[in-house]
Structure 1
Amino acid sequence: MSACAANSSQEEQEEETGGESSSEEASSSANEDATEISFIHWRGEDEEVFNDIIDQFEEENPDIDVQMNIYPSEQYQSNAQQMLRDGSTGDVFTSFPGAQFETINNAGFFTDLTGEDFVGNFAETSLDVGQSDDGKQLAIPYQLVFNMPVYNKGMFEELDLEVPGSWTEYQEMAETLIENDITPIAFPGADIGPNQTMNSMMMNNAKDEEIFAKLESGDETLANDWWVNTLADFAYFNENGYFQDDALGTNQDSAMQMVANEEAAMIATGSYHMASLKEINPDLELGLLPPITAAEDEVEFEGIHTATFMLAVNSNSEKKEEAKTFINFLSQPEVASQYANETGQHLTVNGVEYESESLQGTSHWIDEKDTRFQPRYLIKDAAVADAVLSSIENVLGGTSPEEAAEEAQVIVDENID
């Protein structure tokens, strides 16, 4: 070897919510001669643990103060490039893989980190997502997220349900849940949307991991079976009650509450929500269960992973060495272990020890499962990504899969080079 959380989503998360916050507590004023560096990211739910880690860093490095600013995910995706422009903000910044990484790279705002000692502190198999086409290490993925539904293992045991390994078994599982007045999947369409679910829904419909590269080169089209069939699967889920009523109008907090209250068996987000669900209902026993939409002998991929929350140094910064010192600190196993266990995130740092029940219960996905990198983050053009996601939302709104695919392809054709 995938959340916002895009949204806690890692969107993710992949896609955290809430207003901008500033960690003034984390910036020591004890040494007026200290160099202040700016650290910006989108994960508001990590503020408390980052404040503590920054305090530790400043104690170890009294000549450096860290000022952290956190922005809502959507705002961060839209405005990060502008914030980095003059070098006064984001000496250390984070980037999503995919379209945002490409945008920032094209603007020239990444510092080349190739050859830095701390790069060796990260799992080599996770680094390529932060590399340029010519192999330069421009950003370091920090989090390892599994972008697929989280399920209630205790509920499955009570109902004597097995984890499905084929489309037929998945249908039988969903029907059993419905018969017991349980919604199979809580779908947070109002804020996270299909950003996470699309990855596991298509993973065995389009086994070619270069499918979106071919789409953007004009060698593939959304009107072909791989995408029309994925849209048809979404329509089937929606029409047969696998998602709750008004799925497009449900936000992530409401969807999480459905799972916490055991009104729903799963939430269509990812591993980044497991810790939050346990906070709401500590009695939950959780696991990961991607939708299987293929016959058993046609299943190649068991799940989805993403290496995200990519740490980078602003090329316009005048404090690059101090910024690198901070990233090096974050890459130390004891620091990374604290961050992982207090936020419920798997990390790409070597030597991390997972202590929380949720992390220990899902760590086997790292080494024992055949997962593929999140397909959505392999779309480099933001307009193309929006068109792909909108086609799913249109199907959930009643448009036929064929029509939704053709409408999205028109937008793709207008934006590809």
Structure 2
Amino acid sequence: MISKKSSIPAFFLIPLLTLAGCAGESPDSSSESENGSEDRTQISFIHWRGEDKEVFDDIIAQFEEEYPEIGVEMNIYPSEQYQATGQRMLTDGSTGDVFTSFPGAQFEAIANAGFFEDLSGEDFVGNFDESLITVGEKDGQQLALPYQLVFNMPVYNKGMFDELGLEVPKSWTEFQEMADTLLENDITPIAFPGADIGPNQFMNSMMMNNAPDEDVFQKLQNGEESLTNEWWVKTLEDFQLLEQKGYIQPDALGTSQDSAMAMVANEEAAMLATGSYHMASLLDLNPELELDLMAPITVEESEAEYEGINTATFMLAVNSNSEKKEQAKEFIRFLSRPEIASQYANETGQHLTVNDVEYESEVLQNTAYWIDERKTRFQPRFLITNAQVEAAVLSSIENVLGGADPMEAAEEAQQIVEENLE
């Protein structure tokens, strides 16, 4: 079963950068229609999922056909830009009548700024699995509704494993044996997109059993834990082992997401160190792939408490500063209909938190067992609520992959943690 996390620790202030325009997807305006009525209410919908543009275009068209009095203008921003500037865009209520939020730090910052409209009393909240939307709760209010259920752990080529007679490793020893077999067959075990994603996703499964205490990062920020303790030093040593043994590709820190995905699609690499959200894109590149999910178990089998990582994310919300709240809620109600959610799930390759979704795609059907049958924990990185601490944690991994000694990298990162405690 998914390990439920009922709350996210205290907030940090997201830097308020000036939004200089979208560097990724161009804004997609659905404001004009054949009706062209001046009485039409235009709402703004902002998010970071550029790969979902096509399906959202279709869903928005369906919504506008059913509700001709409401138009939806969608704007998509690169995820890093969205995390940095999302809060600022909500300030005057003119943008983001419906917006999305990451769980953890961004959610806490926006909540403390008072930009979430309380959705607790809305009937459409009942369309969601109540056990999967707790990360959108704060102080007894349902401020946001996570739409996606993502598994932030490596995607692997199950067909390749079957051909080579490999089984999913259940311990760190078995993981290394598996990786050695792949290398013997001229296959890179793990494609690591260090240039743009870095260790943001892979760190979660690499540390989940080294530090099974789900409050470890809260304790780190409270001064009760240290990055120089065994749980984090071992994690850094495990990353060092991956690099030294060639289990990740050369120049991993300079490899882009697209290049890493191409390695897996071309079967040059067996695993992609990101998460379930990339499975659909991999199948677009190579429809012949048979994919599944696999988190490295970095301890002995008897010591493993978790099998993987989950994140309820892409949190739908209504801007409390909006003058079009009722229309915004109508759009979220539409997105939470089982038939609309099913379309979104199957066309984007995402598991969702909405009840009664029918997964038609083979890859979603084959990985649905992770929802109910495997023990996963909420993504640890999203429980780091201080931006400087998060950057220090991630940089320590990058430093080790760049050749630094694990303990020295841990000590350098811990110094930054302590400076922020002061």
Matched, 1:146 2:165: no
The alpha carbon displacement at 1:26 in A equals 6.3
Structure 2 counterpart of 1:307, from 312, 327, 339: 312
Which residues in structure 2 correspond to 1:248-267 (within 5 Å)? 248-267=253-272
CA distance in 2, matches of 1:339, 1:346: 9
1:162-219 deviation per Cα after TM superposition (whole angstroms, max 9, x unaligned):
1111111111101100111110000000000000100000010000011111111111
Structure 2 counterpart of 1:130, from 132, 136, 141: 136
The alpha carbon displacement at 1:29 in A equals 5.5
Alignment partner of 1:24: what SS? strand
The alpha carbon displacement at 1:320 in A equals 0.9
Which residues in structure 2 correspond to 1:200-215 (within 5 Å)? 200-215=205-220
CA distance in 1, matches of 2:42, 2:168: 51
Partner in structure 2 of residue 359 of structure 1: 364
CA distance in 1, matches of 2:30, 2:98: 18
Q: Under a length normalisation based on structure 2, what TM-score does the superposition of the two structures give? A: 0.93
Q: Is the 8 A contact 1:40 1:69 kept in 2?
A: yes
Partner in structure 2 of residue 10 of structure 1: none
The alpha carbon displacement at 1:40 in A equals 0.3
Q: Is the 8 A contact 2:45 2:72 kept in 1?
A: yes
CA distance in 2, matches of 1:221, 1:280: 42
Partner in structure 2 of residue 179 of structure 1: 184
Question: Which residue identity is paired with 2:344?
Answer: Y
Question: Which residue identity is paired with 2:307?
Answer: E
Matched, 1:97 2:103: yes
Partner in structure 1 of residue 292 of structure 2: 287
Partner in structure 1 of residue 19 of structure 2: none
When residues 323 and 120 of structure 1 are mapped into structure 2, their CA distance, relative to the original with a 3 A threshold, is same
Q: Which runs of 5+ in 2 are unaligned?
A: 4-21
Question: Which residue identity is paired with 1:290?
Answer: A
Partner in structure 2 of residue 57 of structure 1: 63
Which 10-residue stretch deviates more, 24-33 or 282-291? 24-33
Matched, 1:68 2:74: yes
CA distance in 2, matches of 1:227, 1:117: 44
Matched, 1:397 2:398: no
Partner in structure 2 of residue 7 of structure 1: none
Q: Which runs of 5+ in 1 are unaligned?
A: 3-16
When residues 348 and 26 of structure 1 are mapped into structure 2, their CA distance, relative to the original with a 3 A threshold, is farther
Matched, 1:79 2:79: no
CA distance in 2, matches of 1:58, 1:136: 30
The alpha carbon displacement at 1:18 in A equals 5.8
Question: Which residue identity is paired with 2:63?
Answer: F
The alpha carbon displacement at 1:404 in A equals 1.0
Partner in structure 1 of residue 122 of structure 2: 116
The alpha carbon displacement at 1:298 in A equals 0.4
The alpha carbon displacement at 1:98 in A equals 1.3
Question: Which residue identity is paired with 2:87?
Answer: Q
Which residues in structure 2 correspond to 1:178-197 (within 5 Å)? 178-197=183-202
CA distance in 1, matches of 2:49, 2:396: 28
CA distance in 2, matches of 1:102, 1:391: 25
Question: Which residue identity is paired with 1:38?
Answer: S
Q: Is the 8 A contact 1:184 1:264 kept in 2?
A: yes
How many residues matched? 402
Q: Is the 8 A contact 1:20 1:72 kept in 2?
A: yes
Q: Is the 8 A contact 2:399 2:409 kept in 1?
A: yes
Instruction: Give the fraction of aligned pairs with identical amino acids, expressed as a percent.
Output: 73
Partner in structure 1 of residue 221 of structure 2: 216
